[in-house]
Structure 1
Amino acid sequence: MSSLKLAKANAIVRGAFKRAGELGLKPIAVAVLDAGGHLKAFQAQDGTSFLRPGVAHGKAYGAIALGQGSRGLNDAALERPHFVQALNGLTGGALVPVPGGVLIRDGRGNLVGAVGISGDASDNDEACAVAGVEAAGYTAQTD
């Protein structure tokens, strides 16, 4: 399994912040987890509300825990709400099944982690997550 290094995790955060600035978004929080679901890097821009860190982590956690981007989890929540509710119960409420959590894959397609972003509309959060992942030289998986 590939290992997500701190420098790369920080590059993801920087890339996400850069994209948020380019889009003129509200302040965002960015959580980067390694392939084992451990927090590798976290930063929140000035002005984020106090729940944003938890939401960002929940988007990344759900993605890494279930092996799909949180957009896919959002679709599952719409199609099978009882199943996603059960999964959320199993994780103690840690999943946030809305867009903004993406898987991070290396050049060989190996899973190296996930990033979750919260602060603006979910589609904008996801766009920043993808930009951050790509800025660090990885491939983002959104669903």
Structure 2
Amino acid sequence: MEVTLEMARTAIRAALDAGAEKGFRPLTAIVLDAGGHIVAFERSDGSAPGRFAIAHGKAYGAVMLGMPGSAQMKRAEDQHYFMTAMNGAFGGAVVPVPGGILIKDGDRVIGALGVTGDTSDNDVIAGLQGLEAAGLTGAA
């Protein structure tokens, strides 16, 4: 299975809607394919324009390293030099915090969803709800 544009749009819309329903601050979400290429992106009204780079960095780190943002953050806390080196290798594009959610088909990574705008934990809640609405499996 591959992440289609329809799946990506559904996941993003459902994540943004979940955030609004829960009273989260305005969210921004992006879906990348397994190669780290943008499939879809959307920003809620009122979400800061710089949130694109954060959402992208969360998703990009997840898909390129094959680990969700929560695992990247733990790795950064335990071995900051590793995440510093990885961020250097990826041109500073990695944001190693929760909200970078792997999209999986069984054991295979098929993409990532990056969500930002509220607390990282709330970003994950909205993102997982979005993936579920799209019929996708997420690893946060």
TM-score by length of 2: 0.96
Residue 18 of structure 1: how far off its partner (Å): 1.7
- Post-superposition offset of 1:105: 1.4
Which 4+ stretches in 1 moved above 3 angstroms? none
1:63-82 superposed matches below 5 A: 63-82=62-81
The amino acid that maps onto 2:66 is G
**Aligned-pair distance for 1:138?**
1.1
Name the residue aligned to 1:9: 8
Q: RMSD of the TM alignment (CA)?
A: 0.9
What CA deviation, in whole Å up to 9, does each residue of 1:109-138 have, x standing for no partner?
A: 432210001101110011111111111111
Structure 1 stretches of 5 or more lacking a match?
Answer: none
| Aligned pairs (5 A) from 1:1-143 | 2-106=1-105, 108-142=106-140
Count the aligned residue pairs. 140
Gaps of 5+ in 2: none
Taking structure 1 as the reference length, the TM-score comes to: 0.94
Whole-angstrom distance in 1 between the partners of 2:6 and 2:104: 16
3-state SS, counterpart of residue 101 of structure 2:
strand
Identity of aligned residues (%): 44
- Report SS of the residue matched to 1:102: strand
CA distance in 2, matches of 1:83, 1:111: 22
SS at match of 2:118: coil
Letter in 2 for 1:120: D
Post-superposition shift, 1:48? 1.0
- Pairwise CA distance, 1:3: 1.5
Distance 1:89 1:75 in 2: 18
